[in-house]
Structure 1
Amino acid sequence: MTDAMQFRWTSCSCSHVGLVRQVNEDACLEQADRGLWAVADGMGGHTLGDLASRLVVESLNQLPPAANLEKFMLDARDRLQTVNRQLRGEAAARGVRIIGSTVAALLAHGSRFGCLWAGDSRIYLYRDQRLQRLTRDHSQIEEMKARGNLGDDDVLAHVARNLITRAVGVADVLELDERVMELNDGDVFLLCSDGLSNEVSEQELSEVLEDGNCEQATRLLVDLALQRGGHDNISVVATRAKDLYGSEKTVLNPGLAEQVRSD
């Protein structure tokens, strides 16, 4: 078994227009066999957000196979920069200020994974019964919190909560943040647009992801956001990693084999 095949992935995705918007400007990518997932949220209030999110997802979907995670992420960065230029050109041609989209992408290769993001779409990791947010929102409200000007209790009520500071198509050069970590057996990841994170608490996310059932988690989370009013488009991608070497280690462990024989 090669290192690239160390983990087997299961995943599920869903994108829902919600109960208020007329157009779904979100887009999802789910490619478990390639170790590639993404959520893109076309910028609300701007022209052709659905076009922007679709171009982001299509560009990532065209990524070629890579020899390692570094190359995989570098290629993804290049693709997103190309989309950024396309959206800037499209906006200029149409005479509008911005056609843009957030992006949150999860890429896995061998025993590691990487996150790339711009905007306020998020990636969470559920590991060892604990939920961890891997991304930091590029938003005015997050910047205010970092400066100590806003407490967590004020976040949901604040008028600036939907104002983002980075996205694909916003500036001539796209700024992407990234994070790389080692994978653990049983890791569960959640990618989502703010249509979910604005409606559902992190405690609720943790409770839903606890079972590790991606299909069930995706369905329950979308339903929960809809029950809270579905004020925005809702996109959810859930994926789980299974270490294929783990079972081999158990079978080939000499001490365990000796114990089995003696019993």
Structure 2
Amino acid sequence: MENTTAFQWESAAHTDVGLARARNEDAWLAAPGLWVVADGMGGHAHGDFASRSIVEALSTLSLPGDLDQAIADTRAAILGVNQLLMDEARHARVRVIGSTVVALVSRGHQCACLWAGDSRLYLLRDNHLQQLTRDHSHVEQLRARGLITADEAKHHPAHNAITRAVGAAATLDLETLTLDVRDGDMFLLCSDGLYNDVDDTDIATVLASWDCRHAADELVRLALARGGQDNVTVVVIRASEADGSSESYLSPDTTG
């Protein structure tokens, strides 16, 4: 039997340049049925242009009701930005203009995530926090092979070296996952400026407030209080069963 549950989606976002950087190279989007965080590649020219280009391209989408087609349209838009950034790098005569991306698309009782790089999607369900995305990074490869521990990965000299990004290569392999949504699910999209300074236990505690605005503000506050060595961006999303036959969206934020 088909699940026809409708959900009301609420979201809030917060970004901060941090305490050590002169420029915020993160960008975010919170639009009906589509949420995004992009982190311009640190150390490369025009990282802020790269992350903004992703958000601007996705903000113009009018996604269909079918999840598979919504995924395809989101993927096509990101691949278009990949080519744009490759062209821009050639024009500017720099090696790379790139950005991570993590995007969450919701349709009906399901959602999908597309990502490249080390910006993450977390899910808090039944008070259990789960990292749904797998970092495309050098240290994650080492950790997956059992060569270093998760704690060692956090402090590894190459912890910022990512292996996949928008604009980094002519062919972009966007990883995708889909899952069914449940009442009360709390999702978190974030750049690495959050999880490098705030551990999973504290992330779970903050999300368990079930208040998107409070959680977004508090997560950024914690990241700054614990060092704030990078730009930090979070988008917090809550799904709750809605009355009626269609989805509704409550989001005070649009783009960053």
Q: Normalising to structure 2: TM-score of the pair?
A: 0.92
User: Following superposition of structure 1 onto structure 2, how do residues 166-177 of structure 1 map, counting pairs within 5 Å?
Assistant: 166-177=164-175
Write the distance in 1 (CA, Å) between the matches of 2:179 and 2:158. Answer: 32
Verify: 1:13 aligned to 2:2, yes or no. no
Residue of 165, 183, 186 corresponding to 2:184: 186
Equivalent pair of 1:188/1:239 in contact (CA under 8 Å) = yes
1:7-44 CA-partner distances (Å, limit 9, x unpaired): 1111100111001100000001011xx21100000000
Aligned counterpart, 2:132: 134
Residue of 58, 66, 69 corresponding to 1:68: 66
Equivalent pair of 2:5/2:241 in contact (CA under 8 Å) = no
CA separation of 1:242 and 1:194: change in aligned 2, threshold 3 A: same
Q: 3-state DSSP class of the match of 2:65?
A: coil
**Percent of counterpart pairs with the same letter?**
49
1:206-233 CA-partner distances (Å, limit 9, x unpaired): 0000121000001110000000111000
Shift of 1:64: 1.4
CA radius of gyration, larger in = 1
Q: 3-state DSSP class of the match of 2:154?
A: coil
Shift of 1:146: 1.0
User: Following superposition of structure 1 onto structure 2, how do residues 102-181 of structure 1 map, counting pairs within 5 Å?
Assistant: 102-181=100-179
User: Following superposition of structure 1 onto structure 2, how do residues 200-211 of structure 1 map, counting pairs within 5 Å?
Assistant: 200-211=198-209
1:171-225 CA-partner distances (Å, limit 9, x unpaired): 1011100100000001000000000010000111000001210000011100000
1:207 maps to amino acid = T
Write the distance in 2 (CA, Å) between the matches of 1:95 and 1:137. Answer: 29
Residue of 71, 76, 79 corresponding to 1:78: 76
Aligned counterpart, 2:231: 233
Structure number with the bigger relative contact order (C-alpha 8 A, sep ≥ 6) is 2
Q: 3-state DSSP class of the match of 1:75?
A: helix
Structure 2 unaligned runs (5+)? 245-256
Aligned counterpart, 2:55: 57
Write the distance in 2 (CA, Å) between the matches of 1:52 and 1:97. Answer: 13
Aligned counterpart, 2:247: none
Residue of 88, 100, 114 corresponding to 1:90: 88
2:29 maps to amino acid = L
Structure 1 unaligned runs (5+)? 247-263
Equivalent pair of 1:4/1:109 in contact (CA under 8 Å) = no
1:23 maps to amino acid = R
Write the distance in 2 (CA, Å) between the matches of 1:152 and 1:29. Answer: 29
Q: 3-state DSSP class of the match of 1:80?
A: helix
Aligned counterpart, 2:249: none
1:95-137 CA-partner distances (Å, limit 9, x unpaired): 1110000000000000000000000000000001100111000
Aligned counterpart, 1:30: 30
Write the distance in 2 (CA, Å) between the matches of 1:227 and 1:57. Answer: 28
2:163 maps to amino acid = T
1:13 maps to amino acid = A
Write the distance in 2 (CA, Å) between the matches of 1:232 and 1:111. Answer: 35
Write the distance in 1 (CA, Å) between the matches of 2:165 and 2:4. Answer: 31
Shift of 1:156: 2.2
2:97 maps to amino acid = I
1:43 maps to amino acid = M
